Amino acid sequence: MRTQRGFSIIELTVAMALGLVVTGAVLATFVSMHSASGVTSGESVVADNGRIALDVIQQALRAGGYMACNSTQRQAVSMGGVAPTPMTYDFTEAISAYEAVGTSPGSTFALSATPAADLNGNDWTSIAALGDALDSSVTTVGQAAGYPPIKGSDVIAVHTTYSQVQPVYTNGNGGGNTVPVQVTTGLQANQIAIVSNCAWSEVDEIQTVGANAVTFKYPLLGTYAPGAQVAVADTIVFYIGKGADGDGALFMYELAPNPTFQTPAVEIVPDVENMQILYGVDTTGQWLSATEYVTADQVATAAAGNTSGCLAFNCVISVKVAVLAASPLGTVPKPPQSQKFSLLGTTITAPQDTRARQSFDMTISLRDNTN
């Protein structure tokens, strides 16, 4: 009979060593693939956030200045000069805007790892017509909703026709406060509305809505033949605020369908940490292209030489918007030093953390601000 024998200690040791090597290689491959998957997923989130943020802003801006079938270039505001805030009823211009102090091209701004609310309106500035500080509606609405603005990002408001209510057609108007209309669908008392014959328009506050007539609070300045339009006016505001997760996010709120900014600010895109905006002004009056891009507080000065007679933001024919989007924490290894990103010439220094970041920018034409 043959004597049965097992493995020797040396053979077992070699086998265990080989097994550990193979197991280690498998684990290393898994960890590497998991890490790569996390980075890829994080970068995908960053790309989506940046693209969506710009798409939302672009959609609103391309409708800036559209007043029923007219534009803000040929529009009056018939509300007795009464306006709760400068930006709320600024319907003689397609946009209103505020520059974050200390973030103009050539400046450097450091982001905080834990963004804090900034309710000091003096941290933003604009042209004299909009006041020297951020419109109070931004801080009021943001604070009431729990999503206040944070320091260092520009703010922009778009004045346009409210897209959720179709314009109604008039049966003519011979002057005064009342306009007969074919239907009153979507119109209600206290709304801010536009009366337009496509060559001229004015903005007024609706006092009452009857069966087939709309009565405005203030006397209309013009007369309107049958077929003119009555539409709801809207102001859409974009700002960077403190999001639900405590990080920066793109927020939006709008005037319509209310007469004041009562709609809560809505978090549109999370993890958008900064936004910088420049305004393309045609200084020649030819309306062919922007000849100079400036910050919001410099628009009136740049527009002063325009020979077409436009004023301030009505001389803006395109807008450059740049945003800095970030991924959730833990996406990438912590860099050896803080990363810097250029947003339209402004250097943004990011916190030294484990987020992936990328800047995105777009130039947007104001279609209804060039006629």
Residue 264 forms part of a structural domain: yes
Which amino acid is located at 149 in the chain? P
Which amino acid is located at 244 in the chain? A
Residue 214 forms part of a structural domain: no
Residue 222 forms part of a structural domain: no
Q: Is the pLDDT of residue 194 over 90?
A: yes
Res 74: pLDDT: 81
- What pLDDT digit, counting tens, does each position of 299-344 carry? 988 888 776 677 788 889 999 999 999 998 888 889 999 999 999 9
Higher pLDDT: 10 or 370? It is 10
Q: Is the peptide bond before 167 cis (omega within 30 degrees of 0)?
A: no
Mean pLDDT of the chain, nearest integer = 86
Res 136: pLDDT: 83
Give residue 107's domain range: 43-68+92-157+236-369
Residue 242 forms part of a structural domain: yes
For the whole model, what pTM was predicted? 0.86
Q: Per the structure block, which two tokens stand in for 303?
A: 């527009």
Mean pLDDT across 31-36: 56
Residue 349 forms part of a structural domain: yes
Q: Per the structure block, which two tokens stand in for 24?
A: 């280690």
Give me the number of domains the chain comprises. Answer: 1
Closest CA to 312 of 120, 17, 90, 44: 90
C-alpha 289 chain-centroid distance: 23
Q: What span, in angstroms and rounded, lies between the C-alpha atoms of 270 and 47?
A: 12
- What pLDDT digit, counting tens, does each position of 202-219 carry? 999 899 999 889 999 988
Residue 249 forms part of a structural domain: yes
Residue 251 forms part of a structural domain: yes
Q: Is the pLDDT of residue 36 over 60?
A: no
Q: For the chain, what's the residue count?
A: 371
Residue 345 forms part of a structural domain: yes
